[in-house]
Structure 1
Amino acid sequence: MSLNLGKIHYWLYDKILWFESLESEIINKAMEDKLPVQEWLKYMDVNFGEPTGGEALEAIIDTSNIHGWLQERIAVVEARQSYLITKILENNADYKTKIKDIFIAQGKQTALEYNEEYLTAEDVYNTINDYILEGMPCDRVNEVLESSGDKIIWKRTTCLHEKYWKSVGGDIAVFYELRDAWIKSFVNNLRGKFKYEKVSQDTQMICG
């Protein structure tokens, strides 16, 4: 079955698994704090679909519809996370700080797993995109505005996430606040001189 799969499919699946890992950490923390997580999980499984469970891609993918299967899995993880976080914040708005701490800690942990020292801002940008889920590669969400050895600036040209948050009555601003926290933590903890900055609502920068 794996003969039909290319490197890009495994790359995208790894990004889906990253999304699922954040969901798992949020669930574990919410359970620890006695939030009514089980009823939310039942709703998520029935209405959005279940997570992959971390199974090997070649064991579960529909090789007759690789693109469609991956696109569907993206929709599942996006819908699940937007619903879960929205329900938690409806239960306790102050809980956002704890969720943000999860994103920050996971960003740092991921960065510390890298041994190499990054020499260019573009290298850091490309590494971020090994994790950040922005639809399918053909969606081309981000546009690089400027790139040099010490700096890269890019702009988000469209938002693929808002429809999921709107559908559950959530606030897309929460999504971007949490993801920016992960990126900043990740970049700032990599070996090297680079830091992450948000220039405007849609524009971001990595600079040395």
Structure 2
Amino acid sequence: MSLYLGKIHYWLYNKIVWFENLEKEIINFAENNNLPVEQIKEEVLSKYEAPTENKPLEQIIDTSNIHGWLQSKIHAAEGRQAAWVTAILKEKEGYKKDLMDIFKKQGEKCGVEHREKNYPTMPEEMYNALNDYILEGMPCDRVNVVLSSDENEIVWKATQCLHSPHWQAVGGKVQNFYDLREAWISAFVTSLNDDFHFEALGDSTYSIKR
């Protein structure tokens, strides 16, 4: 990656900010349900960097280590979310449905907002829109590989899981991450263009199709 800020760095940072917005919604849910938020927050911030709080990238990034700074923010954001979700589900497993509703609502909101700026009509365009939000490591990690793409469907596979270590570190289940993210993606895709739907095909393979 370059030593200078470019479009790809702002693109990655916007994905981090999106992820942190989900974290805020999760914390709001915990507060509204009288969970021990301050205790959880103290534990989380003792292990991970604090959120960026959507400050301008050029004001906060370490320009001498752009790649490392962005990577550390991704790891911190994923670690905090894993910690919050795991702590909430330890209070009550039934809260998972509520968390999935939070992810669905945020997915719908992002889909509507994106549609107003850019209305995709092809599966590949839907996939590219999705990747403007989903955190899947750094571009150099090349996690997602497109297996097939035509005018009716795009199919891709995740070649590795970058998320498990974050969930293992907090004694959580990475399946919760995938369940929540898939709820978000499904809502996002439908809100973006209801001619399409998202499907998890198994074996880390997914599709968006008409």
Give TM-score, length-normalised by structure 1: 0.96
Which residue does the alignment assign to 1:171?
A: 173
Residue in structure 2 matched with residue 90 of structure 1 by the alignment: 90
User: CA offsets per residue over residues 141-162 of structure 1, 9 Å max, x none?
Assistant: 0111000111100011000000
Work out whether residues 144 and 157 of structure 2, in 8 Å CA contact, stay in contact via their aligned partners in 1.
Answer: yes
1:28 aligned onto 2:28: yes
Cα-Cα RMSD: 1.1
Matches for 1:127-146 after TM superposition, within 5 Å = 127-146=129-148
Task: Say whether 1:73 aligns with 2:67.
Answer: no
Equivalent position amino acid for 2:8 in 1: I
Is 1:123–2:116 an aligned residue pair?
no
Q: Offset of 1:44 from its aligned partner? A: 1.3
Q: Is contact 2:121-2:193 (8 Å) kept?
A: no
Q: Does 1:7 align with 2:12?
A: no
User: What corresponds to 2:47 in structure 1?
Assistant: 47
Does structure 1 residue 181 correspond to structure 2 residue 183?
yes
| Structure 2 stretches lacking a partner, 5+ long | none
The structural deviation recorded for 1:201 is 3.6
Structure 1, unmatched stretches of 5+, are none
Aligned to 1:59: 59
Compare 194-203 and 13-22 and name the one that shifted more. 194-203
- Count residues in correspondence: 206
CA contact (8 A) 2:15 2:133 kept: yes
Contact 1:117–1:192 at 8 Å: present in 2 too? no
Paired AA for residue 87 in structure 1 = A
Answer yes or no: is 1:195 the counterpart of 2:197: yes
Contact 1:119 1:192 (8 Å CA) reproduced: no
Q: Provide the residue aligned with 1:112 in structure 2.
A: 112
Equivalence for 1:17 = 17
Q: Give the Cα–Cα distance (whole angstroms) in 2 for the partners of residues 178 and 192 of structure 1.
A: 20
Q: Normalised by the size of structure 2, how large is the TM-score?
A: 0.95
Seq. identity, %: 49
Q: Is the 8 A contact 1:86 1:169 kept in 2?
A: yes
Q: Mean alpha-carbon deviation: is it higher for 98-107 or for 40-49?
A: 40-49
SS of 1:135 mapped into structure 2: coil
Distance in 2 (CA, whole Å) between partners of 1:74 and 1:190 is: 25
Equivalent position SS for 2:135: coil
CA distance in 1, matches of 2:4, 2:144: 28
SS in 1 for 2:206: strand
Distance 1:153 1:164 in 2: 26
Alpha-carbon offset, residue 112 of structure 1: 1.1
Q: Which amino acid aligns with 2:58?
A: E
Tell me how far 1:192 sits from its aligned partner: 5.0
